[in-house]
Structure 1
Amino acid sequence: MGLFAAFTHTLEITLPVFLMVFLGLGLKRIGWIDQHFITTASMLVFKVTMPALLFLSIIKADLGEALQPDVIGYFLGYTILSFFLAWGWAIWRHPRVERGIFTQGAFRANNGIVGLALAASQYGDYGLSLGGVIAGAVIVLYNVFCVFILSLYSEESATDFKSLIKNMAKNPLILSVVAAIPFALLGIRLPGWIMTSGGYLAGMSLPLGLICIGGTLSISAFKRSSTIAIDASLWKVVWVPLLGVLGALAVGIQGPALGVIFLYLGCPGAAASFVMAKAFKSNDKLAANIIVITTFASMFTLSVGIFLLKWLGLI
């Protein structure tokens, strides 16, 4: 692929997603949406529209392509490895009190909304189905490891694995993926009116979720960014995706699967990181700074990465 073609293709993937984020930021600043709207809409996305999107994308997909054990296994294995790499770096470079927040910010990505939107933009139903299965699985890892690391370095909170397991068992995203797999495997067809109504809900998910992410961003938090926040952000949007792509190439993963892996690893920090930081009475301002920095930085790093991978003919 030529340079110009690769460049324009890259913009077609990344610009629509991040323009929706900026739309949310702009609507919040002019007062057309407020914190109450963002909270309610985010809950709607998490509990209703995103599960509908994942469910429909899987039952409409060819599971022979979506259920790729080598790709899914690599992604989950590398996610675990990236957690320990970031934790080791935090022990070596940063004060004990900030190690939990640093580690969470360095490895946890916003796969459920931004990653899925990018995968859909690049690969359509294939990106949604493979990305949906990966997202459902990695949510479990993110929750387990983040609860562990935050509780380890929190002086006020303790790990409650019983509550963690209970919450994961009720997670709508995980439940939607689990529920969809039997329908896809058995070829069960749903009535047209259900598919149409579900499609309306699913269609709301990505734009509404991206607008909510934009509405939660704070320019003042970006200005207050610290050295630790910048370091964690570099891990999130540069080192983790770079090492992940090199590892995937080393084990023979190329094409659309490599593209999905890169998009998911290169996503900005998850908004849930801020919520968990507050729950564990950790440095929530540092968590917010990491989210803001990675959101803005990933617009550049994802675009450059997609451009290079496309130009080199690897995806």
Structure 2
Amino acid sequence: METSFTLLSQIFAVTGPVFIMVLVGMLLKKIDLIDDAFINTASTLTFRATMPTLLFLGIIKADLATALQPRLIGYFCLATLLSFAGAWLWSLRFVAGEDRGVYVQGAFRGNCGIVSLALAANQYGAYGLSTGGVMSGLVIVLFNILSTIVLSIYSSSYEANLRTVLRDLAKNPLIISVAAGLLMASLELSLPPWLMVSGEYFGSLTLPLALVCVGGSLSLEAFRDSGRVAVSASLLKVLWLPLIFTALAWALGFEGRELGLLFLFLASPTAAVSYVMARTSGSNARLAANIIALSTLLSVITIMVGLYLLQYWQLI
């Protein structure tokens, strides 16, 4: 009993700060201390400035051999591709045609850059931040390409071409920061101490600010109105797909912090940007909002239970 309590305390020390900040965001929005204008501005600041700074510094401070792990990143990208394919196949049988694009995106596109990265940093410190930062930056390429494909197929008003997708990827601040960090680390270049400290101050704004924005953007009304399709997509995202691909990773020999990092990234709730893409494509944005809200709330339980079981069985 004491061992279980100690284990639960350790897990809450990792997950508690992350999900409490999400709840703080919900509370601040509820009592009107923050509004949609603040959330939009803060989210833009996070995406375009503070998070790229955090990822860049995390990579250049780390040992490149530690941060860049082809086997780990390759498996995560493969799991993302298979999750996308599996969600799409499932949707062909159980989801109406016009909602399939939103369903598939909600079921495979995780909030890796905020929730997973915060959990990884809490769990594994500098290793979680640097390796997780590389994973986040690279998987964004897959997320954007796959989401664009499936949304364009099932939307009558949205057409995308390869040039547009590549242009957006080339301008993505997170991808640019990861590439720049990897280049500096490979050349063994360093920044002046005063610039490193200033950058760390600025980058430290990222996770609390981003998590508050996630909480502030959640809609309890959307959660109450979630239907069968939203429940199905949410359970795929935070329960079934993480269970399948974490078990497969263990069977393939992943263990310790590598397996833990994979679980945290696989089990992340649906990314908030999926709502923006659904609305831009003329798809069912309300369904996208429902999936984001429901998957985020469910992930509080599934991530804590998953971490408990992995640590109880001494796999991580």
TM-score (norm 2): 0.98
> In 1, distance between residues paired with 2:69 and 2:177?
18
> In 1, distance between residues paired with 2:123 and 2:187?
28
1:206 corresponds in structure 2 to: 207
> In 2, distance between residues paired with 1:243 and 1:107?
13
1:66 corresponds in structure 2 to: 67
> In 2, distance between residues paired with 1:180 and 1:264?
21
> In 2, distance between residues paired with 1:116 and 1:48?
16
**1:4-54 deviations in Å (ceiling 9; x for gaps):** 222111101111000000111100111111111100000000000000000
Q: What is the deviation of 1:80?
A: 0.3
Check conservation: 1:24, 1:210, Cα contact below 8 A: yes
> In 2, distance between residues paired with 1:222 and 1:38?
19
Q: What is the deviation of 1:311?
A: 1.0
2:271 corresponds in structure 1 to: 270
Is the aligned partner of 1:255 residue 2:253? no
> In 1, distance between residues paired with 2:81 and 2:217?
28
Q: What is the deviation of 1:207?
A: 0.3
Check conservation: 1:2, 1:311, Cα contact below 8 A: no
2:188 corresponds in structure 1 to: 187
1:98 corresponds in structure 2 to: 99
1:33 corresponds in structure 2 to: 34
Letter in 2 for 1:265: L
Q: What is the deviation of 1:66?
A: 1.4
Matches within 5 A, 1:134-153: 134-153=135-154
1:2 is paired with a residue of what secondary structure?
Answer: helix
> In 1, distance between residues paired with 2:168 and 2:58?
24
2:205 is paired with a residue of what secondary structure?
Answer: helix
> In 2, distance between residues paired with 1:50 and 1:220?
29
> In 1, distance between residues paired with 2:283 and 2:161?
16
1:108 corresponds in structure 2 to: 109
Show structure 2 runs of 5+ residues with no match: none
**1:107-138 deviations in Å (ceiling 9; x for gaps):** 00000111100000100100001100100110
> In 2, distance between residues paired with 1:3 and 1:88?
39
Letter in 1 for 2:168: N
Show structure 1 runs of 5+ residues with no match: none
Check conservation: 1:28, 1:215, Cα contact below 8 A: yes
2:309 corresponds in structure 1 to: 308
> In 1, distance between residues paired with 2:163 and 2:187?
33
Q: What is the deviation of 1:188?
A: 1.4
Q: What is the deviation of 1:65?
A: 1.5
Q: How many residues align?
A: 315
Q: Percent identity?
A: 50
**1:46-77 deviations in Å (ceiling 9; x for gaps):** 00000000000001111211111111100001
Q: What is the deviation of 1:163?
A: 1.2
Q: What is the deviation of 1:189?
A: 1.7
Q: What is the deviation of 1:160?
A: 2.4
**1:131-170 deviations in Å (ceiling 9; x for gaps):** 0010011000000000000000001111222111101001
1:11 corresponds in structure 2 to: 12
Tell me how large the CA RMSD over aligned residues is: 0.9
Is the aligned partner of 1:219 residue 2:220? yes
2:247 corresponds in structure 1 to: 246
Letter in 2 for 1:225: S
Q: What is the deviation of 1:93?
A: 1.3
Check conservation: 1:61, 1:126, Cα contact below 8 A: yes
2:87 corresponds in structure 1 to: 86
> In 2, distance between residues paired with 1:4 and 1:127?
25
2:118 corresponds in structure 1 to: 117
Q: What is the deviation of 1:2?
A: 3.1
Check conservation: 1:132, 1:177, Cα contact below 8 A: yes
> In 2, distance between residues paired with 1:248 and 1:89?
22
> In 1, distance between residues paired with 2:91 and 2:160?
20
Letter in 2 for 1:12: A
> In 1, distance between residues paired with 2:13 and 2:132?
19
> In 1, distance between residues paired with 2:193 and 2:281?
45
2:56 corresponds in structure 1 to: 55
1:162 corresponds in structure 2 to: 163
1:287 corresponds in structure 2 to: 288
> In 1, distance between residues paired with 2:225 and 2:192?
52
> In 1, distance between residues paired with 2:314 and 2:62?
25
